[in-house]
Structure 1
C-alpha cells in the first residue's frame, strides 16, 4: 500500500509470460510478506489457546485466504495509481499479470475464505469475515479518509476473537489481548504507508497518515506498536516477570532503530515487534487465555 511521475503504461509484448511466471507474479501481487506474518501469528495464537492441530490449520487457512484476497484486491484497486507513479515492484503495474487474473484470484480467495472461516463455528467465522470486510473497505474506500486507520485496528483487534471463539464454549478473548492486537494493527498502518505518502497525496489518497505527514506518522506508528507490546506486558493479571520487561525494552530498541530507516524498514520493524509480541504471549504458557 505507497512528486508525481507521469509514466506510460507498461509496454505489452506479443509474447505471453509462462504459467510459472504468472503464478509467481500473482503471488507477489498478494502481498506475501504481511500475509505470511498474519497467518503465522494466527497459527501461534491458536496453538497457545489449545485449539489443536486441526483447529490451528483451519484458522490459519482461513486467515491466509482472507489475507490473499485483501492483497489482490489492494493491488487491483491501486492499478491506475501504481502505473502513474511508476511502481516497478507491483506485478500488475509492470504487466507481469493481467488485471482480470488478479480480480478473479481475489474473488475466488474470498469465496473460499467464507466456508473455511465458518468451519471454526458461526461466531468465530462471522468475526473473521467482518475483519476481512473491513480490510476490503479500506482498499476500496476508507484509505482515502481520515479513518484510514480504523479498518486495520478493527481487523487486527478481531483476530484474537476469531481464534478464541473457535474454542469449546466460544469464549471471547481478554480485553488486553484485543487492545494489543488493535494497537499493533493501527501502528502497522502508519508504518506501512510511510514510504508512499508523497505518491499517495499526488494520486488522491488522503488518509490520516498522509494528512499528518511522514514525521508525525512515524512517531505515532512507533507509539502505537510500543503500546501494543506494553498491553501484552501489563494487561494480564499477576506480577510482571523480568523477562517480559526485557522483551518490552528490546521492542522499544527495535522501534527506535527501525523508525529512522527509509523505505519499508519501519514496516519490517513492526513485523519484528509482532514476533516479539508472540513471544510475550507465549511467555504466559499454553492454555486458554
Structure 2
C-alpha cells in the first residue's frame, strides 16, 4: 500500500531571516538564564578579587576567634563583605563601559551580555546586602564596613583614573583585619599600627591589578600610576 506524503506543517518549513529576527526579539526565559549570561554576570563582579577578599576575611575571623567562629556570625560577616564587593565590582564595570567598548569589547557590558540596568541592579543589591547584614554586626562594625566599601566606590567613581588611584588600596587593606577583629571580639586601636605596613602592600596590590590595563589606560589618556610608570617600572 502506497504511503501518501505527509502534509507539510508550518513548523517543517524553513525559517526565513525575517522570521528569525522577529523571534530573536521576543523575550525568552531559557535564553535569559543561559550559561553565557550567568558567566557574564559572574565576570561583571570581578570574581577572583572577591574570592581573595572572602578567603582573607574568613582567615582573619578564624585567627581572631582562635578557631572556627560561630556559624551565624561567620555567615553574616561573609555576606556583609560579599555585598560590598559585589557593588564595587559592578560599579567598576559601569564606570569603565565607554573605555572598555573601545579596548575590551568582549567584556560583559560592551558585549551586550549584561545590560547597564542589570549591572546597576547588582550594585544596588550588593549595597543592600552590605547594609542589611552589616547592621546586625553592631554600629562600629557597620561604620567600618561603610568606610571600606566607600573607599572601593570612590576608587571606581573618582580616583581610578587619577594619580591618587593607589590611595583606596592603602587605606582599605589594613581596614579588613580591623573590621573583622571588631566583629569577632571588638575594636582594638592598636591595630591601627597596621597602616604603616599596609602602605607598601596596598600600593603593590594596586600596581599588580592595574598592570594588565597599562596600554589601554595610556591610550585613553588616564593618569594613574601604572600608566605613568609603564609596565617595566611597575614591575
Shorter-chain TM band: 0.7 to 0.9
Task: Give the gaps of 5 or more residues in structure 2.
Answer: 1-23
Assess if the C-alpha contact under 8 Å between 2:207 and 2:226 holds in 1. yes
Question: Please, which runs of 5 or more residues in structure 1 have no aligned partner?
Answer: 1-12, 219-289
Work out the CA distance in 1 between the residues paired with 2:149 and 2:190: 19
Distance 1:121 1:173, change over 3 A: farther
The structure 2 residue matched to 1:43, chosen from 58, 69, 80, is: 58
Q: 1:60 aligns with which of 78, 95, 100?
A: 78
Q: Is the 8 A contact 1:161 1:173 kept in 2?
A: no
* Other structure's SS at 2:104 match: coil
**Deviation digits for residues 3-38 of structure 1, max 9, x if unmatched?**
xxxxxxxxxx74764223323311111000110110
Q: In structure 1, how many angstroms separate the alpha carbons of the residues matched to 2:126 and 2:221?
A: 28
Residues in 1 aligned to 2:199 and 2:105: alpha-carbon distance in whole angstroms:
30
Number of residue pairs matched by the alignment? 205
Instruction: Tell me the equivalent position of 1:273.
Output: none
Cα separation, partners in 2 of 1:137 and 1:183, compared to 1, 3 Å: same
Task: Report the structure number with the largest CA radius of gyration.
Answer: 2
1:91 maps to which of 108, 115, 129: 108
* Distance across 1 between alignment mates of 2:151 and 2:133: 18
Shift of 1:175: 4.3
Instruction: Give the TM-score of the pair, scaled to structure 2.
Output: 0.80
CA contact (8 A) 1:160 1:178 kept: no
- Residue correspondence of structure 1 range 79-118 to structure 2 within 5 A: 79-88=97-106, 90-118=107-135
Q: 2:39 aligns with which of 3, 12, 24?
A: 24
Classify 1:182/1:118 alpha carbon distance in 2 versus 1 (closer, same or farther; 3 Å). farther
Alpha-carbon RMSD: 2.0
